[in-house]
A and B are shown apart, each in its own frame.
Chain A
Amino acid sequence: MAITSVKNLKEFSTTNERFEGAHLLCPGCAHSMIVRELMNCSDDNLVISTNTGCLEVSTAVYPYTSWDTSWIHIGFENAATAAAGAEAMYKARKRKGTLKNPDAPVKFVAFGGDGSTYDIGFQWLSGAVERGHNFTYICLDNENYANTGGQRSSSTPIGASTTTAPAGRVSYGEKRNKKDMMAIMAANGASYVAQVAPNKWKNMAQAFQKALSIDGPCYINALSACTTEWKFDPKDTINISDLATDSLVFPLYEIIDGTELNITYRPKNVLPVKDYLAAQGRFKHLFKPENAHILEEWQKRVDEKWEYLQRREEARV
């Protein structure tokens, strides 16, 4: 049963299993929630490519695989191009009549972490989107190189302590703001971009289904709370995600054809940013008196971004 007709989480738990539970991801890792939901969103055949990273090393360790669908991994940076190559082959073979199941619908999906999406695979993603391949790229955004022990990426937010930008006696950790991949991908010509989070699972399913149904390149930035590197209890993954969406640190919205921006989730009670930060070990040092200005900047920036998104939504441009 595809998730289209799923009404509640209990039903969701009985949806088809193309992503097996036997994998090596950390307990409490949000990656598997996001991947499983994507795969349950559609009854179509799926070709999945995955960049090197937590997901890849945890789901396809020979002689085992967690993928009960076609799956390919090449390198750290080129999952978008792997999907593009497979999609080109599908088109060629469909035209030539050499497919084994010519009438079965096929969807192409690429997964990457933020390291392989924001940083090392940025060019490959940009190229595949620019060329208009019919595929959906999903960034499992945990804001660091978690697979290699928590180094900073260009998705790491300001003030986070990582192993390559640690907080220390004279440093509050990461000095730069998170790169805005949503704006970049919208400007890059993606037909559809959306920011999603696994705590808002129906919202996430809608975005996935929209992306899979669109004939063109789609980009989805999925918040993937990282128990290991963000330093919170594995049982709190969804709670942390709730704090991220409800404090508007991670607003949920979509951009259609580069212009039409829709906010897809409006928290009833907007929480202070410091509540989100305080729940994670990676921001602990920000609560020292000397780092108070970082907390203030955080709140100010989140408020400004929310204001911007609302104005974009109203303006319809």
Chain B
Amino acid sequence: MAEKIDLQEIEVWDGNYAAAQAMRQAQIDVVAAYPITPSTPIVEGYASFMADGYIDGEFVMVESEHAAMSGCVGAAAAGGRVATATSSQGFALMVEVLYQASGMRLPIVLNVANRALAAPLNVRGDHSDMYLGRDSGWVQIDAFNAQEVYDMNLCAFRVGEHHDIRLPVMVHQDGFVTSHTAQNVCPLSDDNAYKFIGEYKPMDELLDFSRPVTHGAQTEEDWHYEHKARQHKALMDARPVIESVFAEFEKVSGRKYKRVESYMVEDAEVIIVALGSTVESARLAAQQLRDEEGIKAGVVGPRVIRPFPFDAIRDALENCKAIGAMDRSCPGGALGMLFNEVSAAVYATAKRPLVTNYIYGLGGRDLAIVDIKAIFRELKANADAGKITTQIQQFIGLRGPKLGFFETREGK
């Protein structure tokens, strides 16, 4: 039996170490992994737990991220708890198997310390890899700080392994800003954490020879569509499961989570929608603007990216006048993902708030509180004018002249 660790009530962990600790507490059967910046310390942390006798499971250091996810799929099909971690190029290399993992309905937890995608090569944080996974059929949960990385890992196993869902789950954190910044984290004890996650309950396992199963069959036009539709349904059905897991987690931790985290939106005139650590910066900026300038600013952070919380986002945004959707990924000739999805959600509201798109922070470019305040002021101008006063999409924090795209009918 693995040794337990007697954790302090408050530990000082960065996001990576918080993930590694949660993985240790989950008593994972197989971790197949490959190191990549900035998620490497997750794998290193887990390896050191292994070396010190805190892990009973198998730890397989494979030769690539593609193999890491392939090993996870083989292991998960064999009926046990499985997790790994990656970032950026490693995530991109995994993409083929990400689709296979979800299509084969295998619960695997993947920690993603989000990082830019090359070229140009860049190790810093942005959400390019997160966005690359958005159609992969995984549950995607976003942690805004180290505490949430820990909490969301514990919840991720519960959600993915739920027999009505049986889907893999990503837990996202911002590369470096979250993954490498030491913060106060209040963990559960080893016993309580494992009690919350529970024992793994195998289903259709390769290692039950009394009932042989075929995993990964071929389907062509006669059955493929039905499989994919059911997969989508399982992902959509994860919404109430996530909510009930969050509710149970609140009981054991006192920390309350929702599919969409709203901050001061009740009376907000202008709202920023963002992901990752930017949510926390935006909250600070919103509070300061309310105090200093009387701008009724609010912040909405999707905790769950997939299944997209269409209803919760709509409800959070329907009473404001102007929204800034912030995308930390190069939009590649389109409006940003968050802009498109937020726009879709508010389109059905009576007042249809004005939505603009801010591209920011690519390759780790810092986003300061002053930048966020400037966005809020622009949103306020839109709200006051009753129309979009800028181009619909703007790149902020960029060197050189201002860069914006997509004009409104008025030509702005």
Contact = CB atoms under 8 A, between A and B. Distances in A.
Same complex: yes
Contacts of B97: 74-75, 78
A85 B218 contact: no
A99 interface: yes
Contacts of B72: 85
The winner among B64, B72, B217 for most chain A CB atoms within 10 A is B217
B100 interface: yes
Nearest to A57: B218
A74 B80 contact: no
Contact of B60 (A47, A63, A85, A90): A85
Bin the interface of chain B by size: 35 or more
A71 B212 contact: yes
Contact of B209 (A45, A62, A131): A45
Contacts of A95: 56
A263 B386 CA distance: 85
B63 to A, nearest CB: 3
Given A75-B100, A92-B57, A106-B207, A62 B218 contact: yes
Contact of B75 (A45, A88, A98, A131): A88
B209 A127 contact: no
Interface in B169-217: 200, 202, 205-210, 212-217
Contact of A74 (B100, B205, B210, B214): B100
A92 B79 CA distance: 11
Interface string B28-40: 0110100000000
B245 interface: no
A67 B73 contact: no
B210 A101 contact: yes
Bin the interface of chain A by size: 35 or more
Nearest to A93: B80
A190 interface: no
A174 interface: no
B30 A61 contact: no
Contact of A70 (B32, B57, B60, B207): B207
A36 B220 CA distance: 26
B30 A60 contact: no
Interface of A: 45, 47, 49, 56-57, 60-63, 65, 67-75, 77-78, 81-86, 88-93, 95-96, 98-101, 104, 106, 123-124, 126-127, 130-131
> What are the 7 A-B residue pairs with the smallest beta carbon separation, nearest first?
A85-B74, A127-B63, A82-B74, A89-B78, A78-B70, A85-B71, A73-B216
Given A70-B209, A96-B29, A100-B205, 8 more contacts: A56-B218, A61-B220, A73-B216, A85-B70, A85-B71, A92-B58, A96-B57, A100-B210
20 contacts: A62-B227, A70-B212, A72-B214, A74-B74, A75-B96, A78-B67, A81-B67, A84-B32, A84-B62, A85-B60, A85-B77, A89-B80, A92-B56, A92-B58, A93-B207, A100-B205, A100-B207, A106-B207, A127-B62, A127-B63
